[in-house]
Each structure stands twice: as C-alpha cells, then as structure tokens.
Amino acid sequence: MGTYVPPRFAYRPAAESRGHTGQRRPVAIVGAGPVGLSAAIDLALHGVPSLVLDDNDTVSAGSRAICWAQRTLEIFDRLGVADRMMAKGVTWQRGRVHRRDAEIYSFDLLPEGGHRMPAFINLQQYYVEEYLVERALQFPELIELRWKNKVVGVAPRQLGAELTVDTPDGAYTIEADWVIAADGANSSVRRMLGLPFRGQDFDERFLIADVRMDAAFPNERLFWFEPAFHAGQSALLHKQPDNVYRLDFQLGPDADPALERQPDRVMPRVRAVVGESTPFELEWCSVYAFRCARLEHFVHGRVVFAGDSAHVVSPFGARGGNGGIQDVDNLCWKLARVVGGRASEALIGSYDEERGRAADENILNSARTTNFMTPKTRTERLFRDSVLDLAPHAGFGRALVNAGRLSRPCLLSGLRLQTEDADSGWAGPVPGAPAPDAPVTDADGQPSWLLNHLGGAFALLCFVSDEAELADCAALKASAVSVVAIASRALSRAAPDVLIDHAGIAHARYGAEPGTVYLIRPDQHVAARFRRFDPDAIEHALLRASGADQSIRSAA
C-alpha cells in the first residue's frame, strides 16, 4: 500500500461572507481535529446542532496521536466510529521494556478476557479524523462543517460569544450561545482571550519518525533505555497500519531541531534500529520539545476549552489525544442538558472540576515520566539506574520504572455530581468510575455487550433475579432515566427485555447481588450505586448527577 493521500474537503462560501445575516448558533466549535469533530458528533447524538470552523481543508499531517486507549475506544463506539478504527488499527496490549540490549520486563495491559475493546489500538490521527468527518456528514441537519474558515476574533457576550471568521471570500461575524475551543496546543482562541497557559517547559528534545517498511516487529510497545543503537538515550517503537512504524528517539537538550530533521541525520538512526537488510522509506518526521501546561479554568463564560487548547502533556503515555476525547465525553451531555433547558449553566462548572482533575493527573504522570527518562541531576540518575538494576529481579522495582504511564480514565470520586456509597465493602466500580463492559445476551438471544445498552442518557442498571425484583426495577423508571435490567438467567416470558449475564462476568465486575442498582451517567460513568431498590435515594442521586439538584446549583 502506498503513502497515505489525505482527502481535501470542499470550501464553500458562507452565506454570511456574502452579506447575509448569520443565524445565531447554539454551539460553535473552533477546530476540526479529533476533539472538535467528536464534540460535534456527540452533540448531534443529543439533538444539538453545531457549526464547526476550521482554518484548513484536510486532515492532520503526519501520524501525530496514534495510541487510542480502551476507554477512548468505548467513547468512539458510542459515537459510531470504533468499528472502522478497529478494522484498520493495530491492536496491542503487551509492552516490553529494555535496558541496553536486554529485556528487563514485559507487561500485559488487559490480562483478562470479556472485553469488546482492546487495551489499545495504534491508528494514525489522519485516519481517525477522516472517519470522524465522514461520520459527521451523516448528520446534515445538525452539523455544518466549514473548511478554510479561520476564527480571527472572539468577543465574549453575557449569553454567548461573537466570532469573527476569515475566509477566502472575506471576513464575517457570527454569534453562538456557546463556543467550544478545540483548536489545539497553539489555540488562537486562548490567545485572543489573553488566558495564561501555565506549566513546565522541558528542554529535552525528541525526534519522531514514521517509516514504512516490511519488518517483523511484534504488535507491542517496545521501549529501550540506553540501547546500543542509540547510546545513552532512550527510544520507542510502535507499529501502525500500512506497515508504518513510529520511532521516537531522545536527542538531548542541545539538539538542533532543523539539523535533526534532515534525512541524512534521521536515516542512520532508523537504520541502527531496523538493521542493514531491511529496506524502509521515511514518511514523516518531526523534532519537538514539549511542555506540561493547563488553563487554570476550562470554562470562561460561554467559551469552553477542550483537548490541547485546555491542557498539554508529553506524548509519552498517550495522554493527549485520549484526554481530549474524554473531555468531549464529559462535556457534551452536560452542554446538551443546558442548551435544552434541562439544567442550569452550573452543570458546565462540573466539567471544569472533573476534567481539571484529569488534566492534573495526566500532567503529574507526564512530568514524572519525563523526569525518569531524562534525569537532570546526579541523584536523579542514581535513582533511575538503581530502579533499572532492580527491575529484572523485583516486582517493586518494575513498578517504579517509568517509561510512560499509559492513559487511564480519571476517577471522579468525591466530586459534586457523584453520590458516595452509604456503606463500605463493595467490589465493583465506585461512584465516579467508568462503567466496565461485559458480554451479555440481548432480548433477541444475540450476543451483545453491556456498554452498548448504556450511554447517551441516564440509565439505571438493575441486577435482578426474579419477576418481583424486575417489577421493582420497572417502578423506578422515569422520563429522565432508562432502565437496563440484567439477570444471570432467563426470566419468564413476561420479562422479554432483560439482558442475560450467562458467564457471570457482569455480576462479578460490578460486585452485584440480586437487587443491586447502579445509576449510570450519559458518559457511562457511575453516578451512584445501591445495594437494594430505594426509589427516594435513587431519585436524589439522579437529581444530583443531572444538575437538577438545587444544592448542586448553589455549590457551582
């Protein structure tokens, strides 16, 4: 297969640029990368129209984000693109860490079965963007994509914002009730609003090279500390689709980016990894120094920041792209409730709270990875080398090795939308954790997956064992919440819609007994859980999680 040829998307003159008055939009999204496109699709699934503005007319150059984590794939499944990503992507769950020429340990990110989504797939960002564009085009009444429309001005208003947009046919202005800034690490919206982006700059420079070759490297994450082929530094290798491999080389703080991007510098480094007998073609390369930084707040009036415009981390650990998609997952159901008049604007404050915690976690892990990989002092190097000495022989030593703590979803426990457990000693996901998937049999007797029955709306996941418990479950149903009943065996013909957990995996993962109820948020996170049916407690938890509780409004 040849080099990827990016699609070009048609520019069409906006009606506003021809002097027509623009219709005020419920939501305008700045940026048509993975985060902006995912936000438009998620809002469309909630019935909210959006206008997407992008200054380009194609997908990203180079592979960029390539590692998509299990939780992100579950979100993409809800958005309708995961199947295409899985079919194209390279699935992996194992990693190997080397020191010099010896493997010091390996790890398995998903040792148990019974999951629809793998631990990770590798898929170039340009494919993800292409799939998201094609998915967005399936909502012509709800999503308008405007290419070559560059936002050059943002004027906040009390109940929205006015955007100034430059196009090949001239500039125009348009108003929106809400603006999602998804315009990346160099966000123009952030700059135009004069918002500080505080964090830590790292002097270390790295080379990314995408090479096309027919090689026998496994579908695994391969990391080296001080390999013979790149003495004194670190290196990383990942396999991507189309026989493309991503190689990362640590260069040191004094490396000249312009020089190190030259093919006569890149090619020998790659050759040292793949060997003299393996032909390869350099497809793309970049030299970068990175920083860990974030906005103090992600919500500024009616302008909301998501993805790299809100927070940036190093690429080690796959926390950037995954974090951005998880931002969207958290934001869009809340914004849909606010736009639809079902919750006050205070609910958007919980996005700032919840994804702010996630950003802090990602920045902490990213900074620790960088400090471990690139020790700056004699003490730091002594610690790093001692850990690497221990790793082949001791589990606690392996736990201290930090070659990139891989992306995991953030727990939202203790934050305002969750209702804490009334008692202790539960197994299963705590309030604030993402709901785990499990294989089930659906009402038609067909194999299915639990998460396919959750998400997009509030749901009560009820574990029942007989018709009486099913009747209690049905009595809890309200217009604001759906009911998903699950049993370990088939019930009577009067209960045709119950999911069956034949293997017992769902019961085990949720620590469920007959009568257990979980309240699941639209983003598939646990809002509350109950050992028995308690309509009053469930109703209070629902009001709290949905932003309808007056106490939550006053706390925001």
Cα separation, 464 vs 483, in Å, equals 12
pLDDT of residue 134: 98
pLDDT of residue 550: 46
Cα separation, 140 vs 119, in Å, equals 33
Cα separation, 246 vs 265, in Å, equals 16
Give the per-residue SS3 of 168-221: CCEEEEEEEEEEEECCCCCCHHHHHCCCCCEEEEEEEEEEEEEEEECCCCCCCE
- Are 316 and 290 within 8 A, CB to CB? no
Domains of the chain: 15-89+121-196+295-367 (3.50.50.60), 439-555 (3.40.30.120)
User: Token pair of 10, please?
Assistant: 């048609």
pLDDT of residue 495: 54
User: Residue for token digits 């639209």?
Assistant: 522
For the chain, which ranges sit under pLDDT 70? 1-2, 476-480, 492-496, 549-556
Q: Where are the beta strands (DSSP E) in 232-279?
A: 234-240, 244-252
pLDDT of residue 555: 38
Q: Please state whether beta strands 90-92 and 120-122 pair in parallel, antiparallel, or not at all (unpaired).
A: antiparallel
pLDDT of residue 553: 39
Element containing residue 20 per DSSP (H, E)? none
pLDDT of residue 494: 52
User: Token pair of 477, please?
Assistant: 């149903």
Dihedral over Cα of 271, 273, 274, 280: its sign: negative
For the chain, give the number of residues. 556
- Are 102 and 388 within 8 A, CB to CB? no
3-state secondary structure of 371: helix
